[in-house]
Amino acid sequence: MTAPALLAETYRGPFLENAHFGHAVISDALGVVEAWGEGETIVLPRSSSKMIQALPLVASGAADHFHLTEAQLALACASHEGAPLHVEAVSKWLNDLGYNEPDLICGPQTSRDKELKLQMIRDGEKPCRIHNNCSGKHAGFLTLTKYLQAGADYVDPAHPVQKTCRDVFETITDRDSPGFGVDGCSAPNFATSVAAMAKGMAWFAGAHKREDALSVAGARLVQAMYAHPMMVAGHGRACTLLMRAANQPVAIKTGADGYFIAILPEQELGVALKVADGTTRAAESAIAAILVKLGVVDANHPDVQRFLCPDIRNWDGLVTGQVRPAITMAH
């Protein structure tokens, strides 16, 4: 069994303060192209799997039936910051379907948009479910629920929405899932190996060359993500900025606790990585390093540098250290 590999390091001054180990895989349609650590490690991909969870929404015909826009498809794949852009889009989506905020089962979450958060505090407004970073995904679940005329508890693992999500998850990863954990938004999150997840992302990367309904749906979701990067995440976020900095179409998606994926249609490659200690800045450094390695982004681009080798500053603004990708990850 291969041990976890060093993916990123954090330094304070000249001293190594933290070493971040984990697993990363680059895959094509056939399997592993390059790997660090143990690709067969089973983990939860968390929000990195949102494109998979959105597949039934499109492949079933529900998205077209309810005339969803490309921006709404991107929002279905999003971990957004709850900015006005996102709040307004989800609110309109629900209204168009005849639903209201309480119909979402994702739970309330404070907006991560600083200006909106402070304005809501000043106005005495409480955060609601629409501010939840997963509200776009849940609007997609509700859309499919209405199309299937299924019950209201769409996060129940036995619900038709979640059963079809599991089916497509296992189809595109080419692996039976050993089970699921309940995600922060209350939906099931299906587990698989890092290598299987990377192969699933390679499935998305090659979807534009296939004509079956599931592949056509996958290609549409990938197109929506890199066409609407602000919907996918938001201001200052790694997914949005790295997609914008790319020199070719690429879909990038973070997941909680140190997970990241990338979909590269021109190279027909998929990437998945997991930092074992769950540190987001280490995962951002590692995914940026892989994207540099694959020629997708320029290491000197300022929006790549801010994630590849970001400075660490103290409360007085002084640079006290730096995050660096491990030597084995560097281009």
List Cα–Cα distances, 131 to 54, 111, 118, 180, in angstroms: 19, 5, 14, 25
* Contacting residues for 91 by C-beta, under 8 A, at least 6 apart: 101, 130
pLDDT, residue 137, reads: 98
232, two tokens: 């996918």
Q: Decide if 40 contacts 267 (C-beta within 8 A).
A: no
What distance in Å separates the CA atoms of residue 171 and residue 148, rounded to the nearest whole number? Answer: 21
Q: What is the pLDDT of residues 4-48, one digit of tens each?
A: 999 999 999 999 999 999 999 999 999 999 999 999 999 999 999
CA distance to 10, 30, 115, 191, per residue, from 48 (Å): 24, 21, 27, 11
Q: Coil, strand or helix: which one is 98?
A: coil
Q: What pLDDT sits at residue 331? A: 46
pLDDT 10s digits, 144-168: 999 999 999 999 999 999 999 999 9
In this predicted model, what pLDDT tens digit does every residue of 283-322 receive, in sequence order? 999 999 999 999 999 999 999 999 999 999 999 999 999 9
Q: Is the pLDDT of residue 281 over 80?
A: yes
pLDDT in tens, 179-224: 999 999 999 999 999 999 999 999 999 999 999 999 999 999 999 9
Residue 117 pLDDT exceeds 80? yes
d(CA 287, CA 318) in angstroms, rounded, equals: 26
d(CA 253, CA 285): 14
Tokens 């998205």 belong to 63
Enter the pTM of the model.
0.96
Residue 1 has pLDDT above 80, yes or no: no
Query: Domains in the chain, start-ordered, CATH in brackets?
Result: 5-24+35-325 (3.40.710)
- Compute the mean pLDDT over every residue in the chain, rounded to the nearest whole number: 96
Q: What is the pLDDT of residue 330?
A: 52
What is d(CA 190, CA 209) in angstroms, rounded to the nearest whole number? 27
More confident of the two residues 105 and 2: 105
